[in-house]
Chains A and B, each alone.
Chain A
Amino acid sequence: MASAVAASLSARREQAPGHAAPRATQDPVWVKWLLVGCALTFLAFFLVLPLVAVFAEAFSKGMEVYFAAFRDSDALAAIKLTLITAAIAVPANLVFGVAASWAIAKFNFRGKSLLITLIDLPFAVSPVISGLIYVLVFGAQGWYGQYLEAENPAWPWLHAWLIEQDFKIIFAVPGIVLATIFVTFPFVARELIPLMQSQGTDEEMAAITLGASGWQTFWRVTLPNIKWGLFYGVILCNARAMGEFGAVSVVSGHIRGETNTMPLHVEILYNEYNFVAAFAVASLLALLALVTLVLKSIVEWSHARSLRTETIDR
């Protein structure tokens, strides 16, 4: 009896998806619109207004002034450095994400959940501290600085080469790249691990049994299965890599035209009261954010089934 009722209920839901809720569990129309109104007002104030403000301020003195902001050589250098940083950090974390999720999802070993927690660790660290730890390792006071100062260093050839090249890490591009890699470290891995875990190993086992090599199995079987999850992780990773501020701010040294990324350049312009130029550069970053959201939504809508993982919750 009970199962028959449940069956008829679920049958009704299937017939009319979206309109299934019976009256007793439906809110009155005025409640619905009151709640929708409250939610949209809140979002309008907290999300839409800042976004619109970026573009409004950027164009407040007209197109001419807006585009003049990009003729500045420091702005161009900042854009270039941001692109270079993302071009190194994103592929590095992509390779890591694939390797980590292959090991974690396709094999059983002790300490796996500890490893997953450690991979997530950078998300729990404040951006400022992410920069600080690299200053401690590679700064003049840090291990790297001590190595350069050492009288009888280990690996004299490396020491001589580093001195000769005047190879700086902190207050230079390598430090910016390292700090960016740290803050974007988990993005690809945390998308791929649950996705590959849910797919199991059957298809790979079949390919191996049929005589495929490991690489063939990966390229022909695994990769097509995870390509949307991979793309999803990469666009989120890229958005953060290009937009990172706190960590990069600590390690960059703020040398105009040399070690300023776009967010740092925005800060400098803003603090100089050059608001139009600051918001002009910021508008490019806001545009990047919008493109990221659009791509992300497209992936979610068209591949909802193969992407059953959540951005936050694993």
Chain B
Amino acid sequence: MPLLRKERSALPGLNLSLGFTLFYLGLIVLVPLSAAFLKTAGMTWEQFVGAVTSDRVLASYKITFLASLAAATVNCIFGLLVAWVLVRYSFPGRRIVDALVDLPFALPTAVAGIALATIYSKKGWVGQFIDPEGAHLLLPEGIKVAFSEIGIFIALTFIGLPFVVRTVQPVLEELEPELEEASATLGANRWQTITRVLLPELFPALITGFALSFARALGEYGSVVFISGNMPMRTEITPLLIITKLEQYDYRGATAIAVVMLVASFLLLLLINLLQKWSRRHHRV
């Protein structure tokens, strides 16, 4: 049975539009992506494993994974808070704040990167108060943000925030007020209503937002490289390591790491699709 079997329709243009879609998709996305897999097919299994599990590569996986996890977790908490405040309360400037949430989508990552690096540098607006080499008035020891793991975490939090807010917000808007009313009528206090009624309802959207934010953070490059300091074994993220290998003309090594990342992102994409199906079944609109 052919993969794309069409049904008859009175509307014209299926062959043209579908043909062009498949051609363009193949040319721009599928053929180049397959090149990465074909390139690694030329390596032996030992070469491949050696390239993707050397100490420096493993260290980059670790910092990328942990910083993304931390950023996605913080985004979950504050994303839920921002979505709640935007949907449930009215306050002056609410619409502007709502629009501003999408800033990380619109602001080029390199611009965000240099801005964050400047703010958290030891003489920067925030850095001077917390950097160990600055005045660090606020903390006895000071925290090093620029050129450290925390810098990576800050950049990834910036990048991932809108994903959680924009996934939770529509679900929160569509929640039936009757649910909360019923809960209150049955004698639950506000805290019980929130933890037993609202949070379970929001959970699928929240976990989807978490996964989207995490997936974006894993691959992020532009906003991180300026603030991270890029020290091998410590603050070198995996995308940066791919670029470093490319600059040393180690195409195989770079591609092998890229394939590991691609497989990880495709598995995440699959997971996100399943989560969204679950989330939608949860909220039959």
A275 to B246, Cβ gap below 8 A?
Answer: no
Tell me which of B54-62, B136-144, B217-225 binds A.
B217-225
Q: Chain B residues near A117 (CB, 8 Å)?
A: 269, 273
B114 to A266, Cβ gap below 8 A?
Answer: yes
A118 to B7, Cβ gap below 8 A?
Answer: no
CA of A3 to CA of B175, assembled, Å: 19
| Beyond A35-B84, A103-B21, A115-B21, 20 additional pairs, beta carbon < 8 A | A21-B177, A24-B185, A27-B88, A36-B85, A39-B78, A99-B18, A99-B24, A100-B17, A102-B13, A108-B7, A124-B265, A129-B262, A132-B246, A133-B35, A185-B28, A205-B11, A285-B111, A289-B107, A289-B111, A314-B276
Dominant secondary structure at the A interface = helix
Closest approach, in angstroms, between the C-beta of B206 and any C-beta of chain A? 13
Closest approach, in angstroms, between the C-beta of B217 and any C-beta of chain A? 10
- Tell me, yes or no, whether B251 is within 8 Å of chain A by CB: yes
B11 to A292, Cβ gap below 8 A?
Answer: no
Interface residues of B in 80-108 (CB under 8 A from A): 81-82, 84-86, 88-91, 95, 97-108
CA of A102 to CA of B12, assembled, Å: 10
Closest approach, in angstroms, between the C-beta of A278 and any C-beta of chain B? 6
Chain A residues at the B interface, C-beta cutoff of 8 Å: 6, 9, 13, 18, 20-22, 24-25, 27, 32, 35-36, 38-40, 42-43, 45-51, 53-54, 57, 95-96, 99-100, 102-104, 106-111, 114-115, 117-122, 124-129, 132-137, 139, 141-143, 178, 181-182, 185, 201, 204-205, 208-209, 213-214, 217-218, 236, 239, 242-246, 249-250, 262-264, 266-267, 270, 275, 278-279, 282, 285-286, 288-290, 292-294, 296-297, 301, 310-314
- Tell me, yes or no, whether B41 is within 8 Å of chain A by CB: no
- Tell me, yes or no, whether B63 is within 8 Å of chain A by CB: no
Closest approach, in angstroms, between the C-beta of B213 and any C-beta of chain A? 10
Dominant secondary structure at the B interface = helix
* B: number of interface residues (CB 8 Å): 108
In the complex with contacts A289-B103, A311-B105, A46-B158 CB distance below 8 A? yes
B7 to A311, Cβ gap below 8 A?
Answer: no
A141 to B251, Cβ gap below 8 A?
Answer: yes
